[in-house]
Amino acid sequence: MKNLKAFLSALGSHLSSESILTDPHECNAYGTDWTRQVANVSAVLLPRSTDQVAKILSLANELEIQIVPSGGRTGLAGGAVASKGEVVLSLSKMNRIDSVDRLSKTVRVQSGAITEAVHEHCKQSGLLWPIDLAAKGTCEIGGNLSTNAGGVRVIRYGMTRKWVTALQVVTMQGEIIELNRNLEKNNTGYDLLQLIIGSEGTLAVITEATLKLTRLPRFKNIFLFSVTSLEQMARLCEEANFGPFHITAFEFFSQKCLHTVQEKLKRISRIGDTAPFYVLMEIERSSNDLSEVEEWLGKILEESLVVDGSLAQSSEDEKASWGLREGITESIAVTGPVRKYDVAVPVSQMVPFLTEGQKMFSRMNLSIDLYLFGHFGDGSPHFNLVKKPDCSMQEFSNQCDRFEIELFALLKRYGGSVSAEHGVGNLKKHWVTYSRTNRELELYRSIKKAFDPKHLLNPGKILDI
């Protein structure tokens, strides 16, 4: 990359030598994410402070160096991929977590803090940052914010953007900007904090955030259900909406997903595995008295709203139930190459959309496997296509492309979104017009120009300029 030498040498007086990596093997590990795209990284920078980030960005802007911000790199849309010789700016060393403010129920963290470490920290004060993802042990707060991550509790708490009261960001020009200063109410025009959240590192680099917290649920329970059909699943969800509790997760998976988790990860299910679909439902209650919940479960079973249903009786049971749902991604990854579609439709359209999607898949007579799972309760199913051993890589790719066209056409008919929670990155940008109008995209380009007129920050993500 032009000017790289001058850039790194100028940085030498601001960053220690351990903060600048140039060995290609070491660097490329920072240029990919869970999409496993091939990386090509010129250098990796590991700043220890916001001032260092500001220095890096202002120099990069001056010397026209392309920068890819990077967190835990667990993304599934290629938002953190550096494949064109860009410099990766990893925030991982900036992982400070401050004391919890118990009065305002907030905590200030740096971008590189691991999500699970933030959960553990807040738990000690009886508080919760309610964004919960299967990748929580590896993903970082900066990545969660940049992608406006979803996860398994959106049905109760919403997406990441609801749980932030302040951001510190650095622009490509090296300015440090504090957004919203932890105000619960701030009704003064455009909300730049919300604009940065979900912008996938294309507008500015998030260095710190104040996260909004809520009380930890007092009593939690986890059910596993098997159902005969999607219609039955929807009836169960509707019934649960009016149960003596709050639903905190209503997740589903197909029999194929269950069998793969059982086989590949040796996870055990405490209900039978002969039904076509399964539901993991988590609830929270304010009272210790389980009798109402047991009564509700009895009614569900008696009225044959499910094939089978079971309430976890111990924390081991609960862990095992979540292990089935959260192990799906890993079990699929070890099965073969995968194409992921993380789409959204209105919850009321889940049944017809999924029914049509499955029928379409069968009709196309493809020689690939379909794994269906995801977040039923908030209308975001995941279609995962997995290569069979006897299908060539080229054939797999062609077949996925064919399915993709049909899936997105179907999605358009249902008024859905091509990304519910994984973001656009470089994988979904060609489909963004299915979810956003041309006028919206024109405005996107103007916003990008206002922040980063030279197009140096996370180039090629969300849209091509």
The binding site for ligand MLT (CB under 6 A) comprises 76, 134, 329, 340, 342, 374, 382
Closest CB to ligand MLT: residue number: 329
Measured CA to CA, the distance from residue 300 to residue 303 in angstroms comes to: 5
Q: Tell me the three state secondary structure of residue 187.
A: coil
Amino acid at 434: Y
CA–CA distance, 401 with 366 (Å, rounded to integer): 11
The total of other beta-carbon atoms located within 10 Å of residue 385's CB is: 23
Question: For ligand MLT, which is the closer residue by CB, 10 or 134?
Answer: 134
Is-contact 50 164, C-beta < 8 A?
no
SS percent in the chain: helix, strand, coil, step 5 = 40, 20, 40
- CB-nearer residue toward ligand MLT: 153 or 461: 153
Answer whether 1's CB lies under 8 Å from 24's CB.
no
Looking at the Cβ atoms of 361 and 376, the one nearer to ligand MLT is: 376
- Taking the complex as a whole, how short is the minimal distance between the CB of residue 92 and ligand MLT, in angstroms? 21
Rounded distance between C-alpha atoms, residue 390 and residue 413, angstroms = 34
The widest CA-to-CA distance across the chain, in whole angstroms, is 73
Nearer residue to ligand MLT within complex by CB, 134 or 192: 134
> Which is nearer to ligand MLT, 78 or 374 (by Cβ)?
374
Write down the least CB distance from residue 186 to ligand MLT, Å: 31
CB of 35 to ligand MLT, least distance (A): 11
The residue whose two tokens read 């299908």 is 391
CB of 446 to ligand MLT, least distance (A): 31
Measured in whole angstroms, the distance separating CA 256 from the mean position of its chain's CA atoms is 23
Shortest Å distance, C-beta 76 to ligand MLT: 6
* DSSP 8-state code for residue 114: B
Nearer to ligand MLT, 243 or 374 (CB): 374
Residue with tokens 């509707």, as numbered in its chain: 238
Take residue 155 and report the two structure tokens written for it: 């049905």
Q: Cβ closer to ligand MLT: 202 or 380? A: 380
Beta-strand relationship, 86-90 and 67-70: parallel
Min dist. Cβ of residue 350 to ligand MLT (A):
15
CB of 374 to ligand MLT, least distance (A): 6
CA 276 from chain centre, in angstroms, equals 26
Nearest CB to ligand MLT, comparing residues 134 and 301: 134
Q: Which two tokens stand for residue 134?
A: 């299967």
Residue 272: CB minimum distance to ligand MLT, A: 23
Residue 43 CA to residue 31 CA, distance in Å, equals 10
Closer residue to ligand MLT (CB): 1 or 134: 134
Two structure tokens written together for 194: 């919300």
Min dist. Cβ of residue 408 to ligand MLT (A): 17
